[in-house]
Each structure stands twice: as C-alpha cells, then as structure tokens.
Amino acid sequence: MIGQKNRILVVGGGSWATAIIKMLMDNPIEKEISWWMRSEQAADHVRQFGHNPNYLSSVEIRVPAKNISTDLSELIPSADIILLCVPAAFLKEALGGITTEDFEGKKVVSAIKGIVPDENMIIGEFINKRYDVAFEDFMVISGPCHAEEVALEKLSYLTIASGDTELAAEFAGMLSTRYINTIVSDDIWGTEYGAVLKNVYAVASGICHGVGYGDNFQAVLISNGIREMERFVAAVHPIDRDIKESAYLGDLLVTAYSQFSRNRTFGNMIGKGYTVKSAQLEMNMIAEGYYAVNCLHEVNKHYNVYMPICSAVYAILYQKHNPSLEMKHLAGQLS
C-alpha cells in the first residue's frame, strides 16, 4: 500500500502534469505534492506566482515552493509515489542519472500515453525491465480525459490500472473530485497500448479531415480503429476485456474527435500539406502518435496483426507517402 504520508512526486511540466496536480490538490485526502519541471524558468514562475506559465495557466498551483525543483534526484528520496508525466520520447532523458535503487520501495504511476522510442516498450514494461519495479507496484492512468477540460472542471473519467487492484483503488481515491470519477482495472497492457493506439487513430482522423473527408468517413474510420485496437491488444496480452469500456473506446472517441486533441490537430496539418517538422514547430506540443506509430510498426513485426490504419499513418509520416493517395488506399480496406 501507499506510504502513510501520501507523498506524491509529479515528473513533468506540461498540460497533463498540471491537470493531474490540480486533481491531486482538489481531492480532500491529505497529501504532500512535489513537482519536477525541466525548465528552471517555468519552475521559478510557479514558485513565485502559483501558475504554470506555459500550460493551463488558469490553474492555481498550491504546491509549496520548496517542493518544486528541476533536480529529480533531490525530490525522489522523499516520495512514496513517482508519477511520470513527460512525453514518452523524453522519458529516458528525464530519468537520466536515476537508478534502480532510487525506485526501491516506491510506487510508480504512468500518466504517459506513448511508447519509449528505441526500446519499443510501453511504460510499464520499460520501468519494470530498466528499474526492476514490479507490476504490482506500478499503475497506469488512462482517459478519456483532456487536460483542458480538467482545468475547466468539466466532468471527466479516469481509469487506474495496476497488477494490484487494491493499490489502484487507493490511488484512485486520491484523484477523485467532484469533477473526476475514477474506474479501477487490472489491465495494464491493454490500457497502455489502448492509449498509444488511440493517438495513432486520432492522427489518422486528422489526416482524413485535412485531405477533405467528412464525418461519415470519420465514423467508419473510428469504427475500424476500435476493431484494430481490439485485435492488437488481444494478440499482445490475451485476457478477458471489454474493448467498449471507457479506457479503450471512450479514450479513442475523445482523442479522435475533440478540439483539444493535439494528435488530431497534428494529423490535420499533415493532411493539409505540412511536413512533420513544420507541424511540430507550429504546434509547439508533442503529438505522441507520431512517435508511437513507428514503435508500433516495430512491435507488430512480432505479432503480424492486420492493422491497415496504423500502416497508413506510418506510410505517410515515415515513408513520406502522399496523404490523399494513402487515405484513398486505406478507404478501400475499411468496412
């Protein structure tokens, strides 16, 4: 179980990290929150003014100034829970210099919706193999839940998955508020891979919109997307799961359709003719689906699951296929 003092370290300075800190602060259970931010300038601003200058700046931050630092090794020893909330592509960099011993006796939570590049592992698998954290001490936070709606206190739902569902339930109790409902699951692999795949399908959704397809086709695309997700997670981790649950279908729907979806926005720009680099520069935010589709392409070499949507997005982003022609080819494979 979690330590008596409920000391939680949030690792990451973006919008999702800020939203999670808001949930933790608004929850009535007593806890001590510390925050690692990569940018010293942003950390200084939060210490002085109580707001993140770059993301969700309307959120009031009530974390003590002494608990905000850019030195992760300084914060880890006093934490019971380490909550990882950096883009998957930068996780290894963020944990640079951190050892297996630093994670000893800690619970680890991933709020990352991506795969570690080069390793081609979901976060739970990476943390388990690299830092020897047992799956019973590991948790995953999944949606459907956009950070922007958390900031607005719109009713949202989170799924907390762990190899130890009692631990997941205890941590879920620390996130619940009047605007956050929580669900507990034992499906670490399915919820993690579901969160990765829905970003790819959101990129596909954006590309289709960008090249001129309408709502009717979008509905067919996402209908095929949930079936593609079901095939893949069943191959990777075959357990009894209902793919229509919020952590899978719900998260896919909100990411594919929402105005707040950075992956859909990124895909829309690609469909309109932006290069990957120019789209990334203009957004100034990470679209996890870009990195994820390359990792999934490699992982699927071991499983050979039929994944036409992922294949189409990979062809456009990494093989520089024409978006209009590739989507036309994909349309012929959907039902």
Q: Note the pLDDT tens digit of each residue in 130-139.
A: 999 999 999 9
Rounded to whole angstroms, how far apart are CA atoms 98 and 121?
A: 19
Residue indicated by tokens 């993301």: 55
**Considering the entire predicted model, what is its pTM?**
0.94
Chain center to CA of 253 = 15
Q: Is 268:210 a contact under the CB 8 Å cutoff?
A: yes
Whole-number pLDDT of residue 2 = 72
Rounded to whole angstroms, how far apart are CA atoms 160 and 278?
A: 35
Angle at 141 between CA 139 and CA 147, to 5 degrees: 155
Over range 203-214, report the average pLDDT.
97
**Could you tell me which of 244, 269, 263 has the C-alpha nearest to residue 198?**
263
Among all residues, which ones are annotated catalytic? Answer: 198
What are the tens digits of pLDDT across the range 116-151? 998 999 999 999 999 999 999 999 999 999 999 999
Over range 280-293, report the average pLDDT.
88
